[in-house]
Chain A
């Protein structure tokens, strides 16, 4: 079967750093992606890791350890607009298998 686990909710204050973890068990694996989705909106692509290590894109970074079937999304200098749902997704062939999502609430 395919399963991805991530925390259901995380709360943090503006300016803080937050890490959202994702562990996965999938039949195929080509990489791990992260998507952001605001309420009522479409998911938007944040990052992609195919190899072990850290990928940095501005305030957001993503990490992957293939041997541990584990990755995380790191958000720095949190802003109110970062309040959204964050999904990890495994790339399996040409398909994305999504985790259940983590609701991030940023407080002032």
Chain B
């Protein structure tokens, strides 16, 4: 149990376009989902925390108008990178937790390349 999927796994887009990444908990209801960004050989940086039905809480320095997060159901959260630029190229990973659990279950990540 506790499987999290992400789609797409890889995406290449042109500068100025928007990209949507989906994160799904496949076999459990995720009370909270998290979005991280990871640069090569670096740590995971938390971008935002989202709870179903409410607005996401963004970490300091993360532009909420650029990284739109929607958590429409207990099994789906989406991250939309708007007007993408080459510096947005990165590995984006989501994770999800169950109610009253400390453990985060991570998705396989999405490699975004903006040309």
Residues of A within 8 A of B (CB): 30-31, 33, 35, 40-45, 48, 50, 87, 91, 94-101, 103
Contact = CB atoms under 8 A, between A and B. Distances in A.
**B interface, size bucket:** 20 to 34
A45 B1 CA distance: 13
> Which DSSP category, helix, strand, loop or mixed, fits chain B's interface?
strand
Interface of B: 32, 34, 41-46, 49, 93, 95, 97, 102-109
Contacts of B97: 94
Given A31-B102, A96-B104, A101-B41, 20 more contacts: A30-B102, A33-B103, A40-B109, A41-B108, A42-B106, A42-B108, A43-B93, A43-B95, A43-B106, A48-B103, A94-B97, A95-B34, A96-B44, A96-B46, A96-B95, A98-B43, A98-B44, A98-B45, A98-B46, A101-B42
Contacts of A43: 44, 93, 95, 106
A48 B97 CA distance: 14
B43 A100 contact: yes
Contacts of A33: 102-103
A48 B102 contact: yes
Contacts of A100: 42-43
Contacts of A96: 34, 44, 46, 95, 104
B104 A87 contact: no
The 6 A-B residue pairs whose C-beta atoms are closest, nearest first, are A42-B106, A98-B43, A100-B43, A42-B108, A98-B44, A43-B106
A7 B74 CA distance: 37
24 contacts: A31-B102, A33-B102, A35-B106, A41-B108, A42-B106, A42-B109, A43-B93, A43-B95, A48-B102, A48-B103, A50-B102, A87-B44, A94-B97, A95-B49, A96-B46, A96-B95, A97-B46, A98-B43, A98-B45, A100-B42, A100-B43, A101-B42, A101-B43, A103-B41
